[in-house]
Amino acid sequence: MSRSDLREEHNPIVEGVKTIVYALLIALVIRTFLFQPFNIPSSSMVNTLLIGDFLFVSKYSYGYSKHSLPFSPGLFSGRIFEAAPERGDVAVFKLPSDNSTDYIKRVIGLPGDRIQMIEGVLYINGEPVKLERIEDYVETNSQGEPIRSVPRYLETLPNGVTHQVLDEQVNGPYDNTGVYVVPDGHYFMMGDNRDNSTDSRVPGPRGVGFVPAENLVGRAEIIFFSTDGSARFWEVWKWPFAIRFSRIATTVD
């Protein structure tokens, strides 16, 4: 082996580039097939998820579609290794009206279900779900000071999954609806903050409508970071006070 070959083999620049390429490939594989990070930009899932939460979504939970890949290339249709979501899952999906915007909601209706809201109560296949009044949710500002209290309930779905929902308004805009019949291969999604969520109760393109199985991206699993938004990215000295340490490493139920 010549000296030039040795210099090329041990060139630190070449080795650095290789390391970066390998790291990017590993990150791409993890993001595509295992876990993808998402952040919460809206209050539609309060108090399960708060603005500023960062969470991991398991990509393998429902199998893989074109939306599992970056930029959703049309390489194939349908799902590979498909597994149906369970009622009550918190899932990320692509908005059906544009197939590119990420939404996160709770799976409420399965294919064939009849879904309706009557006076703020969720009905599934003609039966009201169980609602139990619990303590109010107290909304706070970035300084931790209370702003207002919102009525909060424990909702139990037919399969026994329980979660908390908020009811900000009496006779809110989506508290009384017609009957939605979920088509085959689709799901009915709702936010836990019932009066502040654009979801399957609102048909597209203005809303969400029924979500095709192909549009599912994955199931929300765990919150790995959370900030209340009181510190800008460059205000390093404020980060310890902006981080919601109590939410880190909590599972999404």
| From 59, 66, 94, 105, active-site residue | 105
Catalytic-residue membership of 66: no
Contacts 24+ apart (CB under 8 A), 114-119: 114/179, 114/180, 114/181, 114/182, 115/179, 115/180, 115/182, 115/188, 115/200, 116/177, 116/178, 116/179, 116/180, 117/174, 117/175, 117/176, 117/177, 117/201, 118/176, 119/171, 119/175, 119/176
Q: How far apart are CA 53 and CA 86, in angstroms?
A: 23
Q: How far apart are CA 9 and CA 170, in angstroms?
A: 71
| From 43, 44, 65, 200, active-site residue | 44
Catalytic-residue membership of 130: no
Q: How far apart are CA 95 and CA 93, in angstroms?
A: 6
| Residue 8: partners with Cβ closer than 8 Å, 6 or more residues away | 14
Residues with a catalytic annotation lie at 44, 105
